[in-house]
Amino acid sequence: MSNIKLGATLFCYGTEYARGQYDFEECVKQAAEAGAEGYEIVATQMIPSYPNVSEEFLGQVEDLRNKYGIGPVGYGANNDKGMMVDRNLTDDEMLADTIIDLKSANKLGCKVMRSQYMLSPEAFERLAPYAELFDVKVGIEIHNPETPCSPTMRKYLDVIKKTGSKHLGFVPDFGCFSVAPNKPQWIKALKAGVKEEHLQMAASMRYAGVDIEEARQKLMEAGADPAINEALQGMYGFVQFKPKEALPGLLEEFTEILPYCFEMHGKFHYLSEDCVEPSIPYEELLPFIKKSDFDGYLICEYEDELYCGGTEFTKRQLQMEKRILNS
């Protein structure tokens, strides 16, 4: 039987934070008021002394835990291969950076660290003894356009099985289960002058698996506004979607990696007033997880592509998750 705890990443409030409307304390306060039982901190965004955690910041985290009743449960690592101007970081350098992240996650009391697949499977394997030393479980994020058992993710699954380490696993991002177009990109395209019929045409071609260049050509021949290209690129990029008929297959893949999932990211791009995410099938996903043996945090994560702030949407997301899980 599952034991699902609901949290929020402070990244949800990234727009408010970047504009200076919220400071770190206000982000924690808003997460608590929205109903989060814990929060993920994206290290590069909100730790002033990154990659290290200062005693001053640690003290602030503890003060806020006492004040608002929640603390950090997940640590979002960076894994940036492109920090050098002339080359990518080597596996040794990526591993060294990730070990520093592990140390910081441990200092903050986080039991889970979300990593990214810029950390190679080979470096991930070498990370196991360090994750065990610091007692922090490291999950590779499964992010759209990857799926739970896509070829890239299978390489990490092979490492997890090979090492047998209980500290290596996954953090699936629910965007990888998308079965409809991204609502914010659709809204932005309409505002830019793109006709609804041309967006529908683009979505139909994406569902059918038409190559992006062929789709672009057909849209231009149909007289589509060139502004459609941004939405089209998203449909074939990091906000891909599959037909609803593909969902059973995706859930079957999900079943295979579920025993190795330490945390999950409840991605949402948009929520209507009735608390529905139009592109991600939460009504199917959450009951599926509820019936499993998953024990951990479901961290809601808002991608603010409309730059309208995440305060209200995060409240709606947590309300939606509670409704489905309690039904």
Tell me if residue 85 falls in helix, strand or coil. coil
Question: pTM for the whole thing?
Answer: 0.95
**Looking at this protein, which amino acid is placed at residue 308?**
C
Nearest by Cα to 37 from 326, 258, 322? 322
- CATH code for the domain defined by 3-179+244-326: 3.20.20.150
What would the mean pLDDT of 95-122 be, rounded to a whole number?
97
pLDDT at 6 > cutoff 90: yes
pLDDT at 142 > cutoff 90: yes
| Rounded Cα gap, residues 52 and 145, in angstroms | 31
Domain ranges of the chain: 3-179+244-326, 183-235
Backbone dihedral angles phi then psi of residue 169, each to the nearest 5 degrees? -170, -145
Q: What is the pLDDT of residues 46-95, one digit of tens each?
A: 999 999 999 999 999 999 999 999 999 999 998 889 889 999 999 999 99
**Looking at this protein, which amino acid is placed at residue 257?**
I
Residues in the chain: 327
Q: How far is CA 64 from the centre of its chain?
A: 24
| Rounded Cα gap, residues 223 and 119, in angstroms | 43
**Looking at this protein, which amino acid is placed at residue 273?**
E
What would the mean pLDDT of 196-214 be, rounded to a whole number?
98
Q: What is the pLDDT of residues 23-59, one digit of tens each?
A: 999 999 999 999 999 999 999 999 999 999 999 999 9
